[in-house]
Copies of this chain bind each other. A is one copy, B any other.
């Protein structure tokens, strides 16, 4: 049950680095590489990877269009992680909207990149594994099979706060709703923003929508 990964990045150095840390794990393997978005659909069809690590900024066809194209055309598509150099990259939201299952910064520590690959391969969303958290809440803390804990996952309380943030509540209002002090809410909000790599509550709410943590309509 090794997880098959396809690397997509226009810089050979990046691909080599990612391939090195991935191949060092025995439950992960790199089945192919692509240097451009245009090559991706063919490679996906041919290699049937479980996870695609896709750079956002590429010549010819960028990661967003490539993501959209794969998810539109390939039946049983792979999970796609969008990789970007800068946090708060302007394409991050577009990428998630295009159907990506998470995003990573290139400077993220290798162990976390590996954990991220395993998580999305197992069907979790990188930022908001709502299903997992629900499972853990309903079926007791014995939830996920070993080692799947990732430090960026939101806690239950943080989920409560984010849900209220996504209803337009201010910190003071959230404090009233949850019967805690405003300072506590500020702490939670700060942790949420850090985990989501969001700059402010607006970006956090956007991510909540784009990753279906919150569902409109």
Chain A residues within 8 Å of B, Cβ to Cβ? 88, 90, 93-94, 97, 99, 165-168, 170, 198-203, 205-206, 209-210, 212, 216-217
Contacts and interface: CB of A to CB of B under 8 A. Distances in A.
Q: Which 8 A-B pairs have the closest CB atoms?
A: A168-B203, A202-B202, A209-B216, A210-B216, A209-B209, A168-B206, A93-B167, A201-B202
A202 B165 contact: yes
Nearest to A205: B202
Given A93-B167, A97-B216, A165-B202, 16 more contacts: A88-B168, A90-B167, A93-B168, A94-B167, A97-B217, A99-B217, A166-B206, A167-B206, A168-B200, A202-B205, A205-B205, A205-B206, A210-B217, A212-B216, A212-B217, A216-B216
A93 B215 CA distance: 12
A201 to B, nearest CB: 5
A12 to B, nearest CB: 31
Nearest to A214: B209
A201 B205 CA distance: 11
6 contacts: A90-B167, A166-B206, A168-B199, A168-B206, A205-B206, A209-B216
A161 B201 CA distance: 18
Contacts of A199: 168, 170
Contacts of A205: 202, 205-206
Nearest to A210: B216
Nearest to A177: B90
